[in-house]
Structure 1
Amino acid sequence: MEQQHHTSPQDKKWWEEPNRLLLINIREGDEHKLVPEELVANAQKFDATAFSLNGGGIVAFYDTKVLDHPKSKSLGDRDLLADVIPVAHREGLKVLARIDPSCASKIHSEKHPEWFSRDKDGNMYPVSGHYVTCPNGGYYNEYMLLIVRELLENYDIDGMWNNHGKFSAWDTGTCYCNNCRRIFKEDSGFDIPMEEDWKDPIWLTFNEWRYKQIAKWIKKVHDLKNQIKPEVVWTAAVQLMESWDFSRPGGWDVDYWIEHQDVITVECQRRYTVPWWPGAQAKYLQTNAPDKPRWMTASYFYPWWRVYSAPEEENRFWLAQQFAFGTSTWLHINGGYSDYFDRRGYKPLQEVMNRQGRWAEYFDDAKSVAKTALVYSRFTMDNYAGDSPEKKYLDHFRGYYLALIENHIPFDILSDKFLCSKNLDKYSVLILPNTACMSDDSAEAVRKFARDGGTVITTFETGMFDEMGKKRDKPLFEEAFGGEYLGYTRDNLKSSYANIEIRDDEMLKGIGDTDILPNDGSMVLFRPDASRTVPLTLIPPVQAHAGSTISIPEYSLIDVTTDHPILSYGGYGEGKTVYFSNQMDLLFYRYGFRDLGMLLANAVWAGLGEAADIIVSAPENIEIAYVSQSERKLVHLINYPVGIHLNTGWRRPGQTIIPAKDITVKLKIENLTKVRLLNSNLTLEPKYVNGWAEVTVPELSDHEIVVFE
């Protein structure tokens, strides 16, 4: 697949401009508290350009005429959309109506039982006095379209967005309704497996089918909207990567939706996952949908405590990542009309969004100029990692992501479905972190990239399975790696080491005075040929006995080494391939050893070579974004808040933003006229050395943009 490219008209539509949005969810019972003028005035305090308001689906917050479409119980004779939209438009704000097809009332379940999801015993899934509906049923494909039509034809809405249109809505189980059984049988020839089994090829086929069924519904709504009122924006919220437990059973894969939305929107609300999740999702959209406007929700609250504010320090860098990587913030405020609400986050978030408004010209049409691409593989996460997606795949991806952040290397995130020569040509380095599942066409594009002069970096079992998880007879990159796979892995390597064979190798730059590095986990046994460089080899576990986790102090002698390479690299065509045969990326993520992150980063720096055009010297908790506009280059500096690390199973949010001082930024740039700091409002005097311009940022608070004119 290639990325979708669209030609924008000279005069942009409103949603193609930089936006700051509010997602306002009204609860049943709060309607009488809503005063349109006050709502709009509050939105203006955030410098919002648009906001969303409840439309219809579960309940209607407008004067619906669709049969059996229930109105909100406290709505009375009000019509919130009719009340609010004129006031918003008078003040220059756009309004989106929210629809939610995820569940319906018991009245519908009695009249149309075929509309609803069923468990394997044929029972409906109850949620909050309603029942979960099926994306293959008539509620989604007929009834919701009546609601969409009514909203488009009767209200001057500027946009419409879909919330929670998915299988297994609200954490319910797999759907075994007659519609799903029939359609899956017609499409695949198989019955739906009665148990979730990630080793069963039919289950994998069913899982992939769910993704494509949701995409069909997204397209159906988009087509209807374009028939009735094409000037209205249509978007459907989705989640990526860290929310696999939500997206996978729901059938959410944004790659299949890109061409069926006017704006690509992702949600980013859970806070117990990695702190760079907003940046990861924004990078993914920026890379794979470069010519589509992109929005991302950010919750004012914590997911399970919808009226309790997340810490200011966390929200600041959460929103900074979105902005830096080209995604407009859509701030989600739930329960704002409640009698019990935490208002402490309002003022700082108003400050952040007003700053985004002042910086809008530095957001508009800013394009990533990263020379490195990190591949994210949903096929690997599903069809290889199966019921252990974090341990077997995501921790690899997270580890390389973290190494790039901490070493301040700009990078994009490319979908495994978009691995083709056209999409790879702009990069110098391609990273495949345990990308076990890959199609033949994708693999050939990767090999061609290396043959044509690029550097390909891979880890562990990359290329050993096809895209649907079938083990290959011959790994895809054996020739490119310059050697021979021995056919098996070595596991249980706790207390093992990597032996440094070549101390001054470019891959070991900055490691210092040590003979060994820590190792663990598993590794693929691989025999490189004589042309390959092998800087690291395996030292087997040093243990008290097989299976122990530590050695006896008196007997902790390393007296056995091997020639099994942990790292090997060499030329391939005009380029280079680098192979970490162990789980180097996963180990860095789990243990955080700085040396392992340096190894991963050094492989990238070596691959970039003369193509490297930015060097930033800053603490590891500073993330950078490097983007370009027509007459300038921009370097975003984002300061992650810090705190005491605890191993609780919940990511403790950073509570303190510590100002960073004297950060140096070097760019390889010509015709430089001025360097400015937007947040600090300072002009900097660059130094010029061998074609590089260097400036020092005296102090970074939460977010700064260095503008090179």
Structure 2
Amino acid sequence: MQVDSPSTERDLPRDSRWRLPYNILQTNLQDIDASMDAEAAADAVREYGADTWLLNAGGISSFYPTDLPFQTRNPLLGSRPSGDLFGDAVAAAKRRGIKVIARFDMSKVSARIAAAHPEWLYRSPAGRPQVYNTLSSACPSGEYYQERSLDVVDEVLDRYDVDGVFFNWFNFNERDYDEVMHGPCHCGACQEGFARFSGGRPLPADMKAPEFGLWRRYVSATLARLTAKIVDHVGSRGRDVGVILRRGAPIEYVEGNNAYRAMPGKEFWPHATAEAVSAQTSSRPGASVMVNCVAFIDPVYRMGSEQPEHFAQYLVQAVARGGNPSAYYFGAPGRLPMEWAVSAGREVMRFRSAHGELYRDLRPAATVGLVRPDHGSAAPGAYWDVLEEFRGLYLALLEAHIPFDVLPVDRLARLGADGALRRYGLVVLPDVGTLRDGAAAVDEYVHGGGTLLLTGSSGVGRDGALELASSPALQALVPVLSGEELRSTYVTDRPQPRAGEFHYSGPLIPVFGRYQRFAWKPGAEKTGAVLPRAPFGPPELSYGHIVGGDPGHVRSRFGSGRVVHVPWTVGRTYREFGKTDVRDHIVSVARSVLRVPVTADLPDSVEVIVGSSGRSTVVHLINHSGAGRRSYGPHLPVPGGRLRLVGEGARSRTATALVSGTPLRAEADDGDLVFELPALDLFEVVAIAPE
């Protein structure tokens, strides 16, 4: 079953207003906000630079007087003169020309509803429901999500002039608010559905089970079908009502939050927002992306405001990658002390609002595509390892000022069919594992003249067979070298004529993670060599490395294109050691097969993101110098720098730094066109146009 097949994916209508830029303020209300001043809240939306208001309608608590027996009215609505907070808010918004998005959360039901309909509930592998703070989790495979959610939406759309609908926590509840893993759902609907999907295989009990990757594909397929069902149901009304859901929706939902606490090793990934938005905008040009930017620390500390610079990063990364930002905080405006957190983000919102024409047509325009793995591509239990490889290469390209887009591995077939892969001069597959139906698209891309960079075991199927005809390899060899087998192992691209004397030329690059050995095709060009493991202790006996027979990387041709295979996890090595010689090693390999049209002379901590808008090239520069161990803090201003258009020295271009409002001076430098940049604070946006 294809998760993102044409039968489940929905684009926005060509004339939809949701194709235009929009800025959202989301007020996530609690029952105690039933008496909120709707007029003052609508003013706060406008003051923040937003033109759209997202607020609670139904689901766990209904903020309007619902008549549905499987909904629970907010018990405090009776204290409001109208008895209808949502209705009052819609009226206040419409008087100000503000669009309204109705928020629903169908993930949990009250004890009353759970007792009446136990078949709607999530069940653990042991058969137990998941109960948290008296609420029971519902399963998306069951009737509550599949049928009754449509009744709830209908009731709201029948009563109110709503512009959009949004479903929060639209997922299978494998983890609860305490970050306790309950495992894949084993309710009756999931047992039947997974059996049909998998051909009768048993449901996995946890993420280490062999069927877990298949379970994740079932989850994605189930949610994709449900998304399409909701979108079609809303669309049948003939109104331009935006539907915000997960992948496959006409408006795809992404969240920017500091969720490191839920990650293995509690590893903070500062680029999570830009990565997620890029994966959507690069693969779904017919959809819009809404980015929920969280102004509190995490679900456990919702009254603890986020660091202002961190919150602003969510918004900057979102808009730079073509997303529509949503500033999200708890409660009615002013009830909780969130002003400090959202203060810096306000300027980002207002900047985007002031440059609506530029952002209306903003599209990704990088010439490098970095493929992101998923649970389906990784071998069972190996997802976090392949994710580290991806992140290591992500950082290497970012720090080298090589602009790139993120491409989801499970959309490669669609990108190939749409011709979208052809716009990339280089596609990077960072140890993603199996490509499934994406392999043919990659081969076609290379055969037509593209360049492919592989690392690790990319393109090797679960059975060990090669999936890529374009690969320089004949076959993958066993065993794969990993873990302790790679201790004291190095790669070198330098000749080592004195290795027999234990005298070496540097750099010697440590190898960490995995080295996939291959038999290589005749004519493949091998570069460098592995220095296999030798004693590393005690110090007196730490010598003996010889030049082995395995290469550092291999090059070959396929059709009109080129392939470079680095058969080890250089990205994981960079993530593990953080050494610039590791980064520079893979960057030099990439640059040897790549012409980068736009780059910069700036510190490593400044990210360069390239897009296009009309006839203009749009370059976002993001200052990441404030990134710390667990969050962003105050950043260090960058006193100028240079933006470089490679090979464009003879052309005439005008450029303006829009944040500072500064026209940029241009000069030719060694065949390039170079623009002198003003001092960089949090971010800058440079618009470059032909004269």
TM-score normalised by the chain length of structure 2:
0.89
Contact persistence 1:149–1:228 (CA under 8 A): no
In structure 2, the residue matched to 1:369 is: 365
For the pair 1:26 / 2:32, whether they are aligned, the reply is: no
Q: CA deviation at 1:22?
A: 1.1
Q: Deviations over 1:559-609 (max 9, x none)?
A: 422121122223333221111111111111221111221222222222224
Contact persistence 1:61–1:72 (CA under 8 A): yes
Letter in 1 for 2:404: F
Q: Distance in 1 between matches of 2:225 and 2:29?
A: 29
For the pair 1:423 / 2:428, whether they are aligned, the reply is: no
Matches within 5 A, 1:336-485: 336=332, 341-378=337-374, 381-382=375-376, 384-391=378-385, 393-420=386-413, 421=416, 422-439=419-436, 441-465=437-461, 470-472=462-464, 474-477=465-468, 480-482=471-473, 484-485=475-476
Q: CA deviation at 1:59?
A: 1.3
Contact persistence 1:270–1:302 (CA under 8 A): yes
For the pair 1:159 / 2:164, whether they are aligned, the reply is: yes
Q: CA deviation at 1:434?
A: 0.6
Q: 1:659 to 1:48 in 2, by over 3 A?
A: same
Structure 1 unmatched runs, 5+? 239-253, 504-511, 545-550, 646-650
Identical columns (%): 24
In structure 2, the residue matched to 1:332 is: 328
Q: CA RMSD in A?
A: 2.5
Letter in 2 for 1:128: N
Letter in 2 for 1:37: E
For the pair 1:143 / 2:131, whether they are aligned, the reply is: no
Q: CA deviation at 1:535?
A: 3.0
Q: Which has the larger displacement, 534-543 or 658-667?
A: 534-543
Q: Distance in 2 between matches of 1:653 and 1:64?
A: 41
Q: Distance in 2 between matches of 1:661 and 1:461?
A: 42
In structure 2, the residue matched to 1:509 is: none
For the pair 1:223 / 2:232, whether they are aligned, the reply is: yes
Q: Distance in 2 between matches of 1:323 and 1:639?
A: 14
Q: Distance in 1 between matches of 2:221 and 2:313?
A: 34
Q: 1:322 to 1:128 in 2, by over 3 A?
A: same
Q: Which has the larger displacement, 416-425 or 552-561?
A: 552-561
Q: Distance in 2 between matches of 1:164 and 1:271?
A: 15
For the pair 1:692 / 2:645, whether they are aligned, the reply is: no
Residue of structure 1 aligned with 2:566, choices 559, 580, 583 = 580
Q: Distance in 2 between matches of 1:275 and 1:404?
A: 15
In structure 1, the residue matched to 2:515 is: 523
In structure 1, the residue matched to 2:607 is: 623
In structure 2, the residue matched to 1:283 is: 278
**Secondary structure at 1:700 match in 2:** coil
Contact persistence 1:264–1:295 (CA under 8 A): yes
Q: Distance in 1 between matches of 2:522 and 2:581?
A: 27
Residue of structure 2 aligned with 1:126, choices 131, 134, 145 = 131
Q: Deviations over 1:319-372 (max 9, x none)?
A: 211111100111111135686534322332222221222232221211222111
Residue of structure 1 aligned with 2:255, choices 267, 282, 298 = 267
Letter in 1 for 2:560: E
Structure 2 unmatched runs, 5+? 177-181, 261-267, 497-503
Q: Distance in 1 between matches of 2:525 and 2:24?
A: 52
Q: Which has the larger displacement, 83-92 or 681-690?
A: 681-690
In structure 1, the residue matched to 2:303 is: 307
Q: 1:293 to 1:279 in 2, by over 3 A?
A: same
The number of residues matched between the two structures is: 653
Q: Distance in 2 between matches of 1:532 and 1:187?
A: 41
In structure 1, the residue matched to 2:214 is: 205
Residue of structure 1 aligned with 2:525, choices 530, 533, 537 = 533
Q: Distance in 1 between matches of 2:538 and 2:610?
A: 49
In structure 1, the residue matched to 2:644 is: 666
Q: Distance in 1 between matches of 2:439 and 2:655?
A: 42
Residue of structure 2 aligned with 1:496, choices 476, 480, 489 = 489
Contact persistence 1:454–1:607 (CA under 8 A): no
For the pair 1:704 / 2:677, whether they are aligned, the reply is: no
Q: 1:628 to 1:74 in 2, by over 3 A?
A: same
Contact persistence 1:480–1:577 (CA under 8 A): yes
For the pair 1:85 / 2:78, whether they are aligned, the reply is: no
For the pair 1:37 / 2:39, whether they are aligned, the reply is: yes
Q: Distance in 1 between matches of 2:641 and 2:680?
A: 8
Q: CA deviation at 1:528?
A: 3.7
TM-score normalised by the chain length of structure 1:
0.87
Q: Which has the larger displacement, 670-679 or 680-689?
A: 670-679
Q: 1:204 to 1:699 in 2, by over 3 A?
A: closer
Matches within 5 A, 1:10-21: 12-21=15-24
Q: CA deviation at 1:170?
A: 5.4
Q: CA deviation at 1:181?
A: 2.1
Q: 1:67 to 1:347 in 2, by over 3 A?
A: same
Q: 1:264 to 1:342 in 2, by over 3 A?
A: closer
Q: Deviations over 1:218-277 (max 9, x none)?
A: 1221121112353211111x4xxxxxxxxxxxxxxx2xx2xxx33112122234231011
Q: CA deviation at 1:527?
A: 4.2
**Secondary structure at 2:77 match in 1:** coil
Q: Deviations over 1:381-408 (max 9, x none)?
A: 34534334212x1001111111111111
